Amino acid sequence: MDIENTIKSELIYSGQLLELRRDIISTTSGKSFREVIRHPGASVIIPYTSNNKIIFVKQFRYAISNFLIELPAGLIEKNESHKDTAQRELREETGYSAKKLSNIGKFWTAPGFCDELIHVYLAEDLSYDPLPSDLDEDIETIEIELNQANEEIIAGKITDSKTISALNMFSLLLKN
């Protein structure tokens, strides 16, 4: 299996969140094209409370014109580590900070066209320590037990892919 090499790269769009590039590449069968979204990456957090519940956020997502129940998450800011992002987003979106923040894995969201890599953090030993919310976010917090969250995934009530992936990692971690 050969690596595809970039011959030429053209910036199509550059915004606050992402870039879209159209690349000409070499493959074993000749030249081809790839359209790639460049993304800064993100952290998703599983805030696990002392009463064995997980804190979720419910927010409107403009791209799908609907509300989603999700784990708190956010983009990595310039010169910020994945762990720092996780702690900041946890405080902004839930009002809690974690004394124990453990990286339990990572995953690519859509590697066929996007380079977004999300790191998953388990947040434990929570204490109320809010940061101001982002001005464009209107978030409601909801506490749900893991088993109930998994049932809501199966029932199609929790449909956010990063949340499903992170909860699957957490469930596997608990089994080991």
Strands 140-145, 53-61: pairing is antiparallel
Residue-wise pLDDT for 124-143, tens only, equals: 999 998 877 666 778 999 99
Predicted confidence (pLDDT) at residue 123 exceeds the cutoff of 90: yes
Q: Tens digit of pLDDT for each residue in 64-77?
A: 999 999 999 999 99
Does the reported pTM lie above 0.85? yes
* pLDDT tens sequence across 98-113: 999 999 999 999 999 9
With 90 as the cut, is the pLDDT of residue 86 above it? yes
Cα separation of 36 and 110, whole Å? Answer: 10
Q: What does the pLDDT read at residue 1? A: 67
Q: Catalytic residue positions? A: 137
Question: What is the model's pLDDT at position 130?
Answer: 83
The average confidence (pLDDT) of the chain is: 94
Burial of residue 64 (CB within 10 Å: 0-12, 13-18, 19+) is exposed
Sheet containing strand 66-70, edge to edge, reads 66-70, 53-61, 140-145
Is residue 35 within 8 Å of residue 20, measured between CB atoms? yes
CA-based end-to-end distance of the chain:
34
Q: What is the DSSP string of 108-137?
A: ES-TTTB--EEEEEEEEEEEE---PPPTT-
